[in-house]
Amino acid sequence: MDVRTRTEEIERLTLAPWATFSDASRGRQRPEEQDPIRPVFQRDRDRVLHCKAFRRLKQKTQVFLSPEGDLYRTRLTHTLEVSQIARTIARALRLNEDLTEAISLAHDLGHTPFGHAGERALDKLTPGGFKHYMQSLRVVDKLEKDGQGLNLTWEVRNGIVTHTKGRWAATPEGRIVRMADQIAYVNHDIEDAVRAGVLDPATLPKDCTAVLGRTKSARITTMINSILAHSDGDVAVGAEENEAFLALRDFMYATVYVDKTAKAEEQKVDKVIGELYEYYLAHVDQMSNFYVQLAYQDDPERAVTDYISGMSDEFAIRTFEDVFVPRKWHVL
């Protein structure tokens, strides 16, 4: 018996009956031989962790565009916090922690530079629209490994594409990630906004903090405990905590996410994304080789969208400057 088979047997003995078991996966788009050490979801987690799109998250906006301070979140640190919260819940409920982590780490791989401002800009430009969760699926299916994709399992792919809105994930682990994503971003965005001076913690709704807690740690703990107390056979959260959390999220959308100081630079995002899109559509051969090939094999609009959405904030700004800002002519 190899290590993977033994691990799968341990899952059957220790996980809850309603967990998603590695040996019962619906499989991959392209069949592969099993790894002798790692069950399928652990293998998926490792593939995501080592892919290029995951590394690029370190320089992609979470809330504040290209923040200068060392302590502000990026899309990468957000992803890690989602993973921590989701894994805590999965372990406590005896669900599949490997599957939960794989979905968590992959859920934002398709996010654009400049966060949701970049997503809105590309959504206006791309035929058929642009949604980051759909792009995350395209990244793992098509764009990684020079067009081969990561060939992830059906369960991980399902969790990626359902992590934001619309229908629930088909697995309890995917539903956990969707909750953990919201718990993470609302609470760490509060902390970042306070640090940036655009939010006074005293203005947080008192009826929300009375239920959830006054600190980030307390609020996250309250939500986790509520999920643990109300989940049995499916993932759920208590009505009181959920109502308070949704009100707190609405408060953030009405204040921080539209704050003029925090969002002053976002009006420039449409210009940067729009100009780059039009430029590369007219100069397809100026993209990197993989995307040039994609433009001819697939279609130019899709390839340009793929290229721009994969850029980090810094790379997008630097590319815009290289293309549109005149350089000084040095005469010796």
Total Cβ atoms within 10 A of residue 43: 23
Q: To which residue do tokens 């504040």 refer? A: 64
Query: What is residue 183's predicted lDDT score, i.e. its pLDDT?
Result: 97
- pLDDT at 144 > cutoff 90: yes
Backbone angles phi, psi at 147, to 5 degrees: 95, -5
Dihedral, 60, 63, 65, 67 alpha carbons, nearest 10: -90
- Name the pLDDT band for 44 (thresholds 50, 70, 90): very high
Residue 176, phi-psi category: left (phi > 0), alpha (psi -120 to 50), beta (remainder): alpha
| Nearest CA-CA partner of 63 in 191, 229, 209 | 191
Amino acid at 60: K
> Can you spell out the DSSP letters for 105-144?
HHTTTTPPTTHHHHHHHHHHHSTT---HHHHHHHIIIIIT
Output the pLDDT for position 224. Answer: 98
pLDDT of 71 > 80? The answer is no
Q: Rounded distance, CA 253 to CA 203, Å? A: 14
Residue-averaged pLDDT of the chain:
92
Q: What pLDDT was estimated at residue 326? A: 86
* Residue 261: pLDDT over 80: no
Per-residue model confidence (pLDDT) at position 74? 87
User: What pLDDT shows up at residue 205?
Assistant: 96
At residue 268, does pLDDT exceed 80?
yes
User: Do 139 and 302 touch, CB atoms closer than 8 A?
Assistant: no
- pLDDT for position 195: 85
Mean pLDDT, residues 25-45 taken together:
97
Q: Which two tokens stand for residue 165?
A: 């809105």
- The number of residues in the chain equals 332
The mean pLDDT value for 21-29 works out to 97
- pLDDT of residue 262 exceeding 70: no
Q: How confident is the model at residue 179 (pLDDT cuts 50, 70, 90)?
A: very high
Which pLDDT score is estimated for 298? 84
Least confident among 1-10, 258-267, 268-277, 312-321:
258-267
Name the more confident of 171 and 257.
171
Residue 69 pLDDT more than 60?
A: no
Rounded distance, CA 157 to CA 169, Å? Answer: 10
Residue 221 has pLDDT above 90, yes or no: yes
**Is residue 115 pLDDT above 70, yes or no?**
yes
pLDDT per position as a tens digit, 286-298: 999 999 999 999 8
In this structure, what token pair is assigned to residue 184? 């993470």
* Average pLDDT of the segment spanning 240-257: 93
Q: Which amino acid is at 120?
A: R
- pLDDT score of 256: 82
The reported pLDDT for the residue numbered 165 is 79
pLDDT attached to residue 196? 80
- For the chain, the structural domain boundaries read 40-275
Class for domain 40-275, per CATH? mainly alpha
Q: What's the confidence (pLDDT) of residue 328?
A: 72
CB atoms near residue 51 (< 10 Å): 20
Comparing CA positions, the residue from 72, 53, 160 lying closest to residue 113 is 53
Q: Is the confidence at residue 157, as pLDDT, over 80?
A: yes
Residue pLDDT, tens place only, 80-109: 999 999 999 999 999 999 999 999 999 999
Query: What pLDDT does residue 60 have?
Result: 84
Contact present, 93 and 231 (Cβ < 8 Å): yes
